[in-house]
Chain A
Amino acid sequence: MTTTIAPYRSELGTGRDGFAQLLRAEWTKFRSVRGWVIGMLIGGLLIVGIGVLTGSNSQCSFQQGPDSASQACPTPPSGPEGGWVSDSFYFVRQPLAGNGSITVRVTSLTGLYSTHGGIGAAGGSPTAGMTPGVQPWSKAGIMIKASTAQGSAYAAMMVTGSHGVRMQWDFTHDAAGLAGNVSASAPRWLRLTRSGDVISGYDSADGVHWTLVGTARLTGFPATAQGGLFAATPGYTKTSTSLGGSSSTGGPALATGAFDHVSRPGSWPAGGWTGQAIQAPGDTALPTSAQGFTQSGDRLTVSGSGDVAPDTGGAGLSSVQQTLTGTFLGLIVMVVVGAMFMTVEYRRGLIRTTLTASPRRGRVLAAKAVVLAGVTFVTGLVAVAIVIPVGERLLHENGSPILPMPALTEARVAGGTAALLAVAAVLALAVGTLLRRSAGAVTVVIAGIVLPYLLAILGGVLPTGAQEWLVRLTPAAGFAIQQTNQQYPQVIASYNPANGFFPLAPWAGFAVLCAWAAAALVLAAYALRRRDA
């Protein structure tokens, strides 16, 4: 006779094995390792601490001349759209009360420039020793401007040194008209027409056939505006192609436009022109006496210096980016924690328990990535939310003007920095899964993110082109998310990573980092499934 023995069955109900349970398991692992929690806190504190350190040690001062005492940096004027602008030129103007139009013919644009900073022998002519020649963005033409205050709204038609006829308005807008340089044999006719707060710009080669170049809608343009002729030119700069790219020499420049056939239908007064240099002290090293206008009959010549364009942030001027120096330190700490979140499981053998409890290995990696990304993002966001206002305040107290920016940009910088930390930590997790060794994983990620950035900003090692490729291709491209300065084709400046300009747009750079992290995660998931634990 045989007895059958029922096989043992546990009386416990089957546990649920959804993704939520896996997340909870990973979260428990994370929060119960004291070192990781402390590590995250230290990472956040370092972000704040370094930001405060750079903020409180910043200073901004410049010297007007070789002998004068240094003074605090002046805040550049803000344009109608909020950003900093350069707004200095020579304006030959008349009030325009209401609608009207102005038409001129430009017969020449000439200029002088200095190659070596200081100009003019003592007691001599202010332009003595300057070389004849125009700059690429030397400008002369007609302008209708809300007022003579720096930074006020305007629209202008102009001939330029080597970019043909342009219509520009409110500093950031730039539209191309007739190509080619102006000369006596190829004069350029320019016209601006104001109707309410809409100003249209036209150009013509013969004064008969006119082409619309652009239409500017200047909201809130006052009834009585100032209209007339202007000339301006940015200084001469020669950026040498030396390694690091930031060494540039130069000096002030002067542009002179010759005009005739001036006609002004509309609400213009009968009186003559008023000449005025729209300038703040320190805008140009060229004495005001070098600028001015002459009038003989119908002919007018206007000479001016300075620029009417966005200010891309010169040396010493700060932006939010500067308060976020601690990101690099925080990033290293979070990369270490991220790599250990996986490598420690291998070292302790916990990985075997983990994979027994959840045999679907891809999901384990996903759960780890979600928990790690969440923790780093929140830590980073809190740290950034503290350091930005504190750092800005410190910079402000130290006399460094801070680049104004829209709230949306500031939110992008803050949120983007937290996301940058989270993605870097996930990248470290994936590399840790691939290599299973903490030291190797941490080094690979730091050498992939921090080192390319360092080489991209370091002067004297790599040529500028190579530096730009580094922050385009490597995970360091992600730092573009912190970029606050904007590049403008109508302003010549050193747009290199050392000055805070990335070759990729903020989100594009961040996408490069995300692509690296995604590729590493896919490889890690593959390796985790195929290899024995």
Chain B
Amino acid sequence: MSRAADAQMIRTLHAEWTKLRTVAGPGALLLTAIALTAAVGAAAANAVSCPGQLCQVDPAKVSLTGIYLGQAVVAIVAVTAVCGEYSTGMIRLTLAATPRRWQVLAAKAAVVGAATLAAGAVAVLASALAGGLLLTRHGIDPAHGYEALSLGQGAVLRATAGSVLYLGLIALLGLGVAAMIRDSAVAIGTVLGLLYLFPIVTGFISNPDLQRHLDQVSPMTAGLYIQATTNLSTLPLTPWQGLGVLALWAAGALLAGGLLLRFRDA
């Protein structure tokens, strides 16, 4: 890549960062995502009670339950970053300033992805800390035969780091879908539908083979395998493969969104 193209990309990134930074929405939403993720995770960890020592608690998974809700807020940030431009007509100015449309999408993905990763790291760390404390208080600790929830452990580290990546990928998925659909209500409905509906429909299907296949392609179910630290052998995919499925969804959405952005009038 030539120096001029580099400078162009840096300017586009700077423009996207300015747009994201100077409206109140994204910052407030990312703070909401952190708060909700940590709060739901703490509530879930606090609800665990295990008198008979019979439960198969996965401490990492329970502490990170908040991701189920937090991802919805992350999706709003991503969707509005694109759809907001369409509803105000800003997109025409953006594309006039940066006619290379792929570059616009790439810059948006980089900026929104980075912001989400930063917020996600805070949210996941807060959840893991709160979860560790609360679960220990409820007797889910090494003294009772459970794995400790410490980041020094390979599996726990993978679960937490993977959850941060998961949120980043959700943001990319949201961006891609939004670039395809352009309308914020429809785009957010599509993203949340993709995430939440697969596991619900799977629950109603009584054919175990089909169930397994649906789990393997479901962006949320497969993606969240990254949080599992116990009973890994029962999962239809390994944790990293699962996160890879979500990455494929995100890449596919970005590709389709980019192509539509490239070839459609704004």
Contacts and interface: CB of A to CB of B under 8 A. Distances in A.
Interface of A: 35, 39, 50, 53-54, 57-60, 240-243, 247, 316, 318, 321-322, 325, 328-329, 332-333, 335-336, 339-340, 343, 347, 400, 437-443, 446-447, 450-451, 453-455, 457-458, 460-463, 465-466, 498
Contacts of A439: 76, 79-80, 83, 184-185, 187-188
B240 interface: no
B248 interface: no
Contact of B189 (A322, A333, A458, A465): A333
Contacts of B151: none
Interface stretch (B6-14, B45-53, B112-120, B161-169): B45-53
Interface residues of B, number: 46
A453 B200 contact: yes
12 contacts: A35-B183, A53-B201, A54-B205, A240-B55, A318-B206, A332-B192, A336-B185, A340-B186, A343-B185, A438-B188, A443-B73, A454-B68
A336 B197 contact: no
A463 B135 CA distance: 13
Contacts of A438: 183-185, 188
Contacts of A316: 206
Given A54-B201, A447-B69, A454-B199, A243 B192 contact: no
B65 A451 contact: no
A225 B185 CA distance: 66
Interface stretch (B56-64, B100-108, B254-262): B56-64
Given A58-B207, A329-B197, A443-B73, A466 B188 contact: no
A243 B62 contact: yes
A463 B48 contact: yes
- Shortest Cβ-Cβ A-B pairs, 5 listed: A438-B185, A336-B189, A466-B47, A439-B184, A325-B204
A438 B183 CA distance: 9
Given A241-B54, A336-B189, A57 B196 contact: no
Contact of A58 (B72, B80, B83, B206): B206
Contacts of A50: 201
A243 B206 contact: no
B72 A447 contact: yes
Contacts, number: 145
A57 B44 contact: no
A404 to B, nearest CB: 18
B1 to A, nearest CB: 34
B203 interface: yes
Contacts of B184: 437-439
Contacts of B62: 243, 461-462
Contacts of A57: 205-207, 210
Contacts of B51: 241
Nearest to B55: A242
A462 B47 contact: yes
Nearest to B214: A57
Contact of A442 (B185, B201, B203, B204): B185
B87 interface: yes
B154 interface: no
Contacts of A458: 199, 203
A476 to B, nearest CB: 11
Given A325-B204, A328-B200, 10 more contacts: A54-B201, A243-B62, A329-B197, A336-B185, A438-B185, A440-B76, A457-B200, A462-B44, A462-B65, A463-B55
A482 B205 CA distance: 17
Given A59-B206, A60-B206, A465-B47, A443 B192 contact: yes
B197 A241 contact: no
A446 B189 contact: yes
Contacts of B210: 57
Nearest to A321: B204
A497 B62 CA distance: 19
Contact of A498 (B49, B65, B189, B203): B203
A400 B206 contact: yes
Interface in B225-253: none
Nearest to B224: A461
B173 interface: no
A243 B188 contact: no
Contacts of A333: 189
B193 interface: yes
Given A59-B207, A243-B56, A438-B188, A450 B200 contact: yes
A430 to B, nearest CB: 15
Contacts of A54: 201, 204-205
A350 B185 CA distance: 18
Contacts of A442: 185, 188-189, 192
B30 interface: no
Contacts of B57: 242-243
A463 B69 CA distance: 17
B134 interface: no
Contacts of A328: 196-197, 200-201
A336 B185 CA distance: 6
B149 interface: no
A339 B187 CA distance: 13
A129 B58 CA distance: 34
Interface string B169-198: 000000000000001111111001100110
